[in-house]
Amino acid sequence: MNADNAHITSMKSLSKNHVYLIGGILLFLMIVTRAGFVNHIQDASWAVFFILGFYLREKLALPLFLLVAFIVDLSVIKATGGENYCFTVAYPFLAPAYGSLWLAGRWFASNYSVSVKGLAYFIFAAIIGTTACDLFSSGGFYFFSDRFAETSLAGFAERVATYLPMYMKTTLVYLAIAALVHFAVSQMTKVGSVTSSTSLK
């Protein structure tokens, strides 16, 4: 088994401690940035759902994170006076939106490799997942929220052209940071394994 295949196998069989650690870090990141506890820090939720799909394969992971996102939003709305422009009957569209990013992360996990090809897959999955997320979330809000007197495909396309680049930039920056951390930890783990095996000889 080569290193890449071994890595993929290990992701599919993470220990409970690793699952709790990764899940806890992702939950913390989403709650802190989504609730706006830190000024000038963009919401990391989109990147979190991609990373969630990449690492955690537990069936309850996605619905748990969707529930936490909902609770955070309700808490923010209550704290700001009980009203929010974005909280409408279109809110359920966030489920397939975030699910798209989760699926993109799962797909990338199945095609992961430390290579130029792996990097291309990463970029492809991130862009497709982010685009799908925006189409679901923005589309649901635009067509079903009753916030717009008139709707049209041209109007929706204009909104996508306006907002998608911003969401894409934020998500890709977070994912790039996560990728660097993942690579650094993987390299340290390999060095530690080599050192341990050498010392035992």
Residue 198, domain member (yes or no): no
Percent of the chain with pLDDT over 90: 68
Average pLDDT over residues 172-198: 79
Q: Is the pLDDT of residue 7 over 70?
A: no
Domain membership of residue 151 (yes or no) is: yes
Go through the chain and tell me how many residues it has.
Answer: 201
How many structural domains does the chain have? 1
Q: Tell me: the pLDDT tens digits for 101-131?
A: 999 999 999 999 989 999 999 999 999 999 9
Asked if the structure places residue 189 within a domain, the reply is: no
The answer to whether position 82 is within a domain reads yes
Nearest alpha carbon to residue 163 among 141, 145, 146: 141
Residue 200 lies in a domain: no
CA distances from 38 to 23, 33, 50, 51, 172 (A): 20, 7, 22, 21, 20
Residue range 25-59, pLDDT digits in tens:
999 999 999 998 888 899 999 999 999 999 998 88
Given this model, what pLDDT does residue 201 score?
52
**What pLDDT, on the 0 to 100 scale, is given for residue 9?**
45
pLDDT at 198: 54
Tokens of 64: 């748990």
* Residue 187 falls inside a structural domain: no
pLDDT (tens digit per residue) in 53-97: 999 988 899 999 999 999 999 998 888 776 677 789 999 999 999
pLDDT band at 186 (very low <50, low <70, confident <90, very high): confident
CA pair distance 20, 120, nearest whole angstrom: 29
In a domain, 194, yes or no: no
Helical ranges in the chain per DSSP H: 3-12, 16-34, 45-55, 61-79, 94-110, 116-144, 153-200
- Asked if the structure places residue 140 within a domain, the reply is yes
pTM of the entire predicted model: 0.88
Average pLDDT over residues 8-16: 58
Q: Which domain holds residue 160?
A: 3-182
